[in-house]
Amino acid sequence: MYAIVEIAGQQFKVEKDKFIYTHRLGDDEGADVEFGNVLLVDNGDSIDVGAPSVAGATIKGKVLEHVQGDKVIVFKKKRRKGYKKKNGHRQQFTKVLIEDIQI
């Protein structure tokens, strides 16, 4: 059984007892979260497709930790002008454990 859910503007394929990394959520570590914008649910024998979301379907999860992604180096240069700029960026993510898919 899996579901397609929209979290923070992105769509994720979620399964029970699996982890997902979403954009940083405002919840504390260890907090229970519930996602209601479920777009599709597959039971194995039947598929429920929402228009735009499946009525009554929710995804329950638990925030495990807040982590940072890999560092991305941004380097800008203009030749013969003496202009160089080097920046780094690490995206903030939240690790969520999917506990239940309710239909």
Domain of residue 26 covers 2-102
Read off the pLDDT band of 53 (50, 70, 90): confident
CB 66 within 8 Å of CB 27: no
- Per residue, what are the HEC states of 54-98? CCCCEEEEEEEEEEEEEEEEEEEEECCCCEEEEEEEEEEEEEEEE
Q: How many domains does the chain have?
A: 1
CA 74/CA 82 separation, integer angstroms: 17
Residue 52: predicted pLDDT: 87
Question: Is the confidence at residue 19, as pLDDT, over 90?
Answer: yes
Predicted structure pTM score: 0.80
CA 39/CA 57 separation, integer angstroms: 9
